[in-house]
């Protein structure tokens, strides 16, 4: 493809509370076997973008481990590759990434050494499928300087948490407000941009000369009247995992047949680093309804409407409802959990009961001693 890819995966997000204390948002587990960044990487690969940079910073260890090989997404053949960039101290720079524009600026060599005419910028915290070729076609067709992928989420209240856009009849963006106090529009920016590579270099260098560091405020909003910025409407599934409620509802969405079919059975596929584990084991007496159970799990109790990640153990007479059980969790006998998110590597003591309201899923972090033979 005639474009390079840039995935912004370095930000800290306090709205994810305890879940983001030891991992980047891009490394958040999704749908039993995936990480959040897998969806953007798969879209890049399926769009035949062979050269992709991932810009990481906060709690990058688990994300870097996940990206240790590019073979899972079929990058890095004879040309291109998957590049992971973290902040580096140089004679000219002694800062961490101070914003999204600064993250790109500190890796300007990647842009300048590339030869592709376009750059596609995406975030690591959204779950969606998109052919970037169609966005690029729209970008060229309209003669746009910048094209932003937008989504009508159908709720002005939910739109307040995002960048809200207003377009004219031709699809040109006439107004862009980042996280407004009030709005009458439910069309938001998904944080996916197409821009000519040379123009991106020019705008980033202009930002740095003026000590501005944010891509949205200092490039998009600042230039909305002077540059031709167009919207590309995304009509398929899109969910941002920017807070606990969104993360919980996104995983629960994968229990719906139409969402599972869209991501797992319709071409193109979503790729991830493969966990070489045995299939899940269901012992006598176990009951599983409308749930995703990942490889390596051992189920003895009842699981209903839940997502269970790799190598979880659920004991006898347990009832797990509407919950997310992350990797390597041990749940003892006679445990009753409803509307919970159990952090990875946790151990829930036997005879524990935690029942929460569906609108407020509770994060459980238990580091109890795990008995072994």
Give the CATH number, domain containing residue 84.
Answer: 3.90.550.10
Q: What is the CATH number of the domain that holds 334?
A: 2.160.10.10
Looking at the structure, tell me whether residues 232 and 139 fall in a common domain: yes
Residues 304 and 331 in one domain: yes
Return the HEC string of the chain.
CCEEEEEEECCCCHHHHHHHCCCCHHHCEECCCEECHHHHHHHHHHCCCCEEEEEECCCCHHHHHHCCCCHHHCCCCCCCEEEEECCCCCCCCCCCCCCHHHHHHCCHHHHHHCCCCEEEEEECCEEECCCHHHHHHHHHHHCCCEEEEEEECCCHHHHCCCEEEEECCCCEEEEEEECCCCCCCCEEEEEEEEEEHHHHHHHHHHHHHCCCCCHHHHHHHCCCCCCCEEEEECCCCEEECCCHHHHHHHHHHCCCHHHHHHHHHCCCCCCCCCCCCCCCEECCCCEEECCEECCCCEECCEEECCEECCCCEECCCCEEECCEECCCCEECCCCEEECEEECCCCEECCCCEEECCCCCCEEECCECCCCCC
Q: Do 45 and 105 sit in the same domain of this protein? A: yes
CA distance 310 to 358: 24
Statement to judge: residues 143 and 291 lie in one domain: no
Q: Report the alpha-carbon distance of residue 251 to residue 298 in Å, rounded.
A: 20
| 332 shares a domain with 261 | no
Structural domain contains residue 274? no
Same domain, 188 and 126: yes
**CA-wise closest residue to 25 among 44, 46, 5, 39:** 39
- Domain for residue 372, yes or no? no
Angle (nearest 5°) at CA 64 between 275 and 99: 140
| Final residue belonging to a domain, choices 265, 289, 309 | 265
pLDDT in tens, the chain (373 residues): 689 999 999 777 777 888 888 888 999 999 999 999 999 999 999 999 999 999 998 888 888 889 988 888 988 767 788 999 988 777 676 678 888 898 998 899 999 999 999 999 999 999 999 999 999 999 999 999 999 999 999 888 889 989 999 999 999 999 999 988 888 889 999 999 999 999 999 999 999 899 888 899 999 999 988 999 999 999 999 999 988 999 999 999 999 999 999 999 999 999 999 888 999 999 999 999 999 999 999 999 999 999 999 999 999 999 999 999 999 999 999 999 999 999 999 999 999 999 988 778 889 988 776 655 3
Do residue 290 and residue 255 come from a single domain?
Answer: no
- Is residue 7 in a domain? yes
Q: Are residues 207 and 301 in the same domain?
A: no
> Is 51 among the domain residues?
yes
Residue pair 86/60 in contact by the 8 Å Cβ criterion: yes
Distance CA 4, CA 165 (A): 25
**Residue 57 falls inside a structural domain:** yes
**The model's pTM:** 0.92
Domain count, the chain: 2
Q: How many CA atoms are closer than 13 Å to the CA of 262, on its beta-carbon side?
A: 17
Note whether 309 and 247 are same-domain residues.
Answer: no
Domain that holds residue 64: 3-265
Same domain, 202 and 231: yes
Picking from 265, 297, 332, the residue at the C-terminal end of a domain is: 265
Q: Which of 265, 291, 313 is the last residue of a domain?
A: 265
Please check whether residue 373 lies inside any domain of the structure: no
Does 291 fall in a domain?
A: yes
């Amino acid at each position: 493809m005639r474009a390079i890819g840039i995935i912004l995966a370095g930000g800290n997000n306090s709205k994810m509370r305890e879940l983001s204390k030891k991992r980047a948002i891009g490394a958040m587990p999704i749908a039993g076997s995936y990480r959040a960044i897998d969806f953007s990487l798969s879209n890049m690969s399926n769009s035949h973008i062979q050269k992709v940079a991932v810009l990481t910073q906060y709690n990058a260890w688990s994300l870097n481990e996940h990206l240790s090989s590019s073979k899972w997404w079929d990058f890095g053949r004879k040309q291109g590759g998957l590049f992971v960039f973290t902040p580096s101290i140089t004679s000219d720079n002694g800062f961490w990434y101070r914003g999204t524009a600064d993250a790109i600026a500190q890796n300007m060599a990647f842009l300048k050494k590339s030869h592709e005419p376009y750059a596609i910028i995406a975030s690591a915290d959204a779950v969606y499928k998109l052919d970037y070729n169609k966005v690029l076609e729209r970008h060229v067709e309209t003669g746009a300087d910048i094209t932003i992928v937008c989504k009508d989420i159908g709720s002005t209240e939910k739109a307040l948490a995002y960048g809200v856009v207003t377009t004219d009849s031709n699809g040109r963006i006439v107004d862009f407000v980042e996280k407004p106090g009030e709005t009458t529009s439910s069309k938001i920016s998904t944080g996916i941009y197409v821009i000519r590579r040379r123009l991106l270099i020019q705008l980033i260098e202009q930002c740095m000369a003026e000590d501005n560091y944010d891509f949205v405020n200092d490039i998009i909003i600042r230039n909305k009247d002077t540059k031709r910025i167009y919207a590309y409407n995304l009509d398929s599934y899109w969910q941002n995992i920017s807070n606990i409620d969104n993360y919980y509802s996104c995983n629960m969405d994968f229990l719906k047949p139409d969402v599972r079919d869209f991501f797992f059975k319709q071409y193109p596929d979503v790729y991830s680093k493969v966990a070489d584990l045995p299939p899940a084991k269901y012992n006598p007496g176990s009951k599983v309804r409308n749930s995703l159970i990942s490889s390596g799990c051992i189920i003895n109790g009842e699981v209903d409407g839940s997502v269970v990640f790799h190598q979880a153990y659920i004991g006898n007479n347990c009832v797990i409802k509407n919950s997310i059980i992350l990797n390597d969790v041990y749940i003892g006998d006679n445990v009753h959990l409803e509307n919970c998110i159990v952090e990875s590597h946790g151990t829930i003591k036997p005879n524990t009961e935690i029942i929460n309201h569906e609108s407020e899923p509770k994060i459980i972090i238990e580091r109890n001693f795990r008995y072994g033979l």
